[in-house]
Amino acid sequence: MKIIYGICGVFFGIVLTKSEVISWFRIEKMFRFDEAHMYLTIGSAVVVGAISVWLLKKVQQKSPSAIQFNFAGKTETKGFVYGGFLFGIGWAITGACPGPIFSQIGAGEWPALFTFLGAVLGALFFSAVRDKLPQ
Amino acid sequence: MSDIILDSWEWYIAGPLLGAFVPILLLLGNKQFGISSSLLHFCSLILPENSKKILRYDPHENAWKLYFVIGIAIGAFIAVNFLSSDQIAFLPEKYYEFQGLIHLFAGGFLIGFGTRYADGCTSGHSIMGLSLLHWPSLKATLAFFAGGLTYTYLVLFFF
């Protein structure tokens, strides 16, 4: 059944690539405020996501025993800001957030394999030093 | 001639399609949309059995994420080879040189470290978290932009 998530990923990858949100050039234009494309894309994604969640909550209220959707928010730590800031730097350098790393590779941009390697080792390093970081 | 599929997709097509993955994943398997945690799956593949526990990650529970990201790469391959009329570059030329690869590696390291420390990325916080109106995710999103803006303007200033 997990293959269904693979199929979802294929569609997601097509949208990421065709909208060029995986493009280093688009990311640079976003951070330089040269182009609204990224802001409008992420913004409209959030609007659709938020409306969907609102609708699903309505459905859940109507038939509470039938469905319990996972609406739990993440537990906040200092890492939201510290880690978020570091990720932002990485995003500006590579033109990729985690999803687009995989689409850049799939699109044939082989240097993104180095981004991927760095990201896996960065996540591993975080796991090793987690307890020493402010939480 | 413009072509709705073969040209690059406008935000009002792409944004709503990306946002649709929030309800799709909730309805399919009650999953919260999020990609950066998939990096831990690759970590668990390279770590020896007795040190996997430092990841605090259950590869069985989260195996769907591995399928999802492999799907993303396949989708991108399909997009550039079958759904595009022009070949477009996603990375600048400079990243094809040795120094560029080092930059990408360093940037990737910050992505991996930063997203795990922040417990989410653009998908988990900026799309999923904000869709839930979970305000700590807004803080994280603003921190992503603060980091990106700081780097971009430092580079503009010094180079």
Rounded (5°) CA angle B39-B128-B81: 60
For B36, counting Cβ atoms within 10 Å of its Cβ (0-12 exposed, 13-18 middle, 19+ buried), the class is buried
Chain A residues within an 8 Å CB radius of B5: 18
Distance from CA of B157 to the nearest CA of A (A): 12
**CB within 8 A of A79, min separation 6: which ones?**
A133, A134, A135, B117, B118, B119
Domain map of chain B by residue range? 1-88
Confidence band, pLDDT 50/70/90 cuts, at residue B73: very high
User: What is the per-residue pLDDT for A74?
Assistant: 95
The Cα B37–Cα B21 span in angstroms is 17
A34 and chain B in contact, CB less than 8 A? no
Span B74-127, pLDDT tens digits:
999 999 999 998 889 999 999 999 999 999 999 999 999 999 999 999 999 999
Chain A residues within an 8 Å CB radius of B91: 24, 95, 104, 109, 111-112
User: What is the per-residue pLDDT for B158?
Assistant: 86
Q: Which two tokens stand for residue A8?
A: 């979802």
Chain B residues within an 8 Å CB radius of A81: 118, 139-140, 143
pLDDT above 90 covers a percentage of chain A that reads 90
Regarding pTM above 0.90, the answer is yes
pLDDT higher than 60, residue B1? no
Chain CA centroid to CA A77, Å: 19
For B142, counting Cβ atoms within 10 Å of its Cβ (0-12 exposed, 13-18 middle, 19+ buried), the class is middle
**CB within 8 A of A62, min separation 6: which ones?**
none
Q: What is the ipTM of this complex?
A: 0.96
Would you tell me how many other CB atoms lie within 10 Å of the CB of residue A74? 20
In angstroms and rounded to an integer, the radius of gyration of the C-alpha atoms of chain A is 18
Q: Considering only the beta carbons, identify the residue of B18, B104, B150 that sits closest to A118.
A: B104
Measured on CA atoms in the order B137, B91, B15, B77, is the torsion positive or negative?
A: negative
Q: Considering only the beta carbons, identify the residue of A24, A37, A88 that sits closest to B90.
A: A24
Span A81-132, pLDDT tens digits:
999 999 999 999 999 999 999 999 999 999 999 999 999 999 999 999 999 9
Nearest CA in chain B to A80: B118
Q: What number is the average pLDDT over the span A11-21?
A: 98
Chain CA centroid to CA B37, Å: 10
Which of residues A26 and A62 earns the better pLDDT score?
Answer: A26
For A98, counting Cβ atoms within 10 Å of its Cβ (0-12 exposed, 13-18 middle, 19+ buried), the class is buried
pLDDT higher than 80, residue A66? no
Tell me whether residues A9 and B75 touch, CB distance under 8 A: yes
B85 and chain A in contact, CB less than 8 A? no
Confidence band, pLDDT 50/70/90 cuts, at residue B9: very high
Q: What crossing angle do the helices spanning A98-106 and B98-117 adopt, rounded to 10°? A: 140
User: What is the per-residue pLDDT for A62?
Assistant: 86
Confidence band, pLDDT 50/70/90 cuts, at residue A63: confident
- Residue from B10, B11, B72 whose CB has the most chain A CBs within 10 Å, to mutate: B72
Secondary structure (DSSP) of B4-67: TTTSPPPHHHHHHHHHTHHHHHHHHHSPPP--TTHHHHHHHHHS-GGGGGGG---TTTTHHHHH
Tell me whether residues B92 and A5 touch, CB distance under 8 A: no
